[in-house]
Structure 1
Amino acid sequence: MQRKYLLIGVLLALIVSGCNMKGTSKEPYHVVYSSEEITEQTEYQNRSTYKIAIVPKVMNIPYFNAVEQGVMEAGDDLQVEVIYQGPSVANARQQIEVINQLVKNENIDVLAVSANDPEQLLPSLKKAEQMGVKVITWDADTAPEGRSFFINMVQDEALGRHLMDTLAWNIDEKGKFAIMTGADTAANLNEWLYWINQQHQEFYPDMQLVETVAANDDPQQAYTKAKELLAKYPDLDGIIGNSSVAPPAAAQAVLEEEKVGEVAIVGLSSPNPMNEYLKKDVVQVVTLWSPKKLGYLTVALSKQLAQGDLPYDNQEISGVGKISVMNDTVIMGEPIDFTKENVDQYDF
């Protein structure tokens, strides 16, 4: 009898408070307050804070330092815990060690990697997924089976062809040139190289590519390679830097060898380290996107993935803008050309 009165009291309380109960034979009953359903969620979905690990190719170069700024800003804005950790040199073995330690020790929800090698990282990424960690790539991709989606800065073909064009325009579409790249295993750098070469072969028959050299995204190696190119090819007309450390290294070498005006330099780099080189006409133009925005976007989409949602075409990302999505690739936006006329407008 006491239980009967208790049940009646509960039902009356629900009616008085404007609540009712809904359910079906297949679903548990739940309470509806003011016509808004409150459904049972898992502890994971209810969490206000996720833990996201962002792994660059290498630490402590200007490009990835700018990415880190965006990552930390997004962590604060979006109220997620972020870890930014990468290898001290740009190679797959060290990066695998970083990934394995993060997955083992940090209880992360999402792992976002700029891959030094598209194949060697796969076992570690697949193991992370098996342990319940969601995996994406950014900046440099792996094979598709290693991640949910890839965040690309720009469209690869457009960027590679544009880099070739910027050099051609500055040496009257003729003469000898070299390409300086980063790690020769990096998928993004190799894609850009492919399209640089395609543009060269299709449109610039009077230009001769003498050599492509890799410097492993190491500033000192890049500087050494640039000096070697200038010594080996005294009649060199231009250099394309296909990674962010190449243009400043080439610029310093050209300045020291007193070849300003003889060897044109273009390529990928942040505006801050290129500011004085551009203003002194050591470098003609450098091209990039905002690495800070790339870091911000990576955290934003990582949090979204942790909540169970994928990015979609024309999605507006606060602090970044509209993104494009093609199949399993996100494209952040268009590249920016920095010249002596506009370089002071940017700060990264």
Structure 2
Amino acid sequence: MYRALSIFLALSLLLLGCRSGAAEGYELIYSMEPGTSPAAPAATDSSTGTDGAAPRYRIALVPKGVGIDYFEYAAEGAREAAADLGIELIYQGPASADADLQMNTVKQLIDLKVDLIAISANDPVKLVPVLRKAMEQGIKVITWDADTQEEGRQFFVNMVEPEMLGRHLLDTLALTMGEKGKFAIMTSSFAAANNNEWLAWIKVQQRDYYPDLELVQTVTTGDDLNRAYEAAARLLADYPDLNGIIGNSSVGPPSAAKAVKEAGKAGRVKVVGLSGPNQMRPHLLDGSAQMSTLWSPKKLGYLTVMLANDLLNGKLPKDGEAVSGVGNIRVNGDMVIMGEPLDFTAENVGQYDF
């Protein structure tokens, strides 16, 4: 029976300085080239280096939305990889997790003639035409964190196996709830491919192994903290006998924990889900949340840029390949799998800083 709940070994993570400031409008661009204007990055020769050395590429990392802690930590890792490789990185995305705004971002990157776009897709279908347009113009495209349909990219850099993660998330809730009671799920969007896969496996795990757990409602947050808090508060009001909440994206668990604490239900309504240790530390320590699960977003950003650079140099990822700074990756078809997630509790959360 699939009920094993693993607490994974701690990873030592060093963080770079935090981002400061914000660009006007919905876009935010980082360039590895000091003094470069965001509107017009310095010209880069992607065919040969100026001294005959390896090519200097421009790689664009596109998050679902800027200003979300999870993606900012991923950008830290991406910038570190770009510095190690001596390439230019552009970090640009919409101010909110919106597929239409993300399409505009991709169009701008096409105009900038970047060499590769790595995108965490807000919609697996809607973004495909603009990504295909990029590829038709010689720009390579990969996805990371959240995938598109396969015709929209060359491969997908995933964090973990979707089935394992979805099942594991429900296992963590079942453990804290004594395997019985009513629970709700807070997910980012019904259009996001990764959230939908995890959601599907959560439901399969409940159906197969936890007959005394009842899912009462699934709500969306749009990856917005305020919206997530309001959704959690409504769940508590609508279901006075609610026993647990799973947050299926990084803003869900801290927002649910805040609502649970303010409702005076800390410890009675269990909160688990996907979120980092820095976001969840106060909630885990005060008992308004019981467990959070995540991988290192910084490592994911680092891996994405390393594999993007390899692709530009004609190298595809291989199963079992050792990636410096990350470890051994797995490859399943056109999906790269970084590794296993980490679980954070009140007992171990002090060991982590991301």
* TM beyond 0.5: yes
Amino acid at match of 1:181: T
Among 288, 294, 318, the residue aligned to 2:294 = 288
Q: Does 1:89 align with 2:96?
A: yes
Instruction: Show the 5 A alignment for 1:128-147.
Output: 128-147=134-153
Provide the residue aligned with 2:121 in structure 1.
Answer: 115
Provide the residue aligned with 1:219 in structure 2.
Answer: 225
Runs (4 or more) in structure 1 with deviation over 2 Å come to: 42-48
Is the 8 Å Cα contact of residues 267 and 289 (structure 2) preserved in structure 1?
no
Cα RMSD between the aligned structures?
A: 1.1
Separation of aligned partners in 1, 2:105 and 2:218: 30
Amino acid at match of 1:299: V
Separation of aligned partners in 1, 2:48 and 2:267: 63
Could you say what secondary structure the match of 1:201 adopts? helix
Could you say what secondary structure the match of 1:108 adopts? coil
Provide the residue aligned with 1:51 in structure 2.
Answer: 58
Provide the residue aligned with 1:101 in structure 2.
Answer: 108
Q: Which protein shows a greater Rg?
A: 1
Is the 8 Å Cα contact of residues 91 and 183 (structure 1) preserved in structure 2?
no
Is the 8 Å Cα contact of residues 48 and 56 (structure 2) preserved in structure 1?
no
Could you say what secondary structure the match of 1:89 adopts? coil
Provide the residue aligned with 1:208 in structure 2.
Answer: 214
Question: What is the TM-score when the length of structure 1 is the normalising length?
Answer: 0.86
Among 199, 207, 215, the residue aligned to 1:193 = 199
Q: Deviations over 1:72-98 (max 9, x none)?
A: 111111111001111111110000000
Question: How many residue pairs get matched?
Answer: 306
Amino acid at match of 1:101: Q
Separation of aligned partners in 1, 2:241 and 2:231: 16
Provide the residue aligned with 2:168 in structure 1.
Answer: 162
Among 244, 250, 260, the residue aligned to 2:250 = 244
- Give the drift of 1:341: 1.0
- Give the drift of 1:46: 5.7
Structure 2 residue ranges without an equivalent (≥5): 1-46
Is the 8 Å Cα contact of residues 74 and 301 (structure 2) preserved in structure 1?
yes
Provide the residue aligned with 1:79 in structure 2.
Answer: 86
Could you say what secondary structure the match of 2:59 adopts? strand
- Give the drift of 1:291: 0.2
Identity %: 56
Amino acid at match of 2:66: M
Provide the residue aligned with 1:261 in structure 2.
Answer: 267
Q: Does 1:311 align with 2:330?
A: no
Amino acid at match of 2:302: Y
Could you say what secondary structure the match of 1:292 adopts? helix
- Higher share in helix: 1
Amino acid at match of 2:138: G
Could you say what secondary structure the match of 1:136 adopts? strand
Amino acid at match of 2:74: V
Q: Does 1:235 align with 2:271?
A: no
Provide the residue aligned with 1:12 in structure 2.
Answer: none
Provide the residue aligned with 1:149 in structure 2.
Answer: 155
Among 333, 336, 341, the residue aligned to 1:335 = 341
Separation of aligned partners in 1, 2:90 and 2:48: 22
Provide the residue aligned with 2:71 in structure 1.
Answer: 64
- Give the drift of 1:48: 3.1
Is the 8 Å Cα contact of residues 114 and 139 (structure 1) preserved in structure 2?
yes
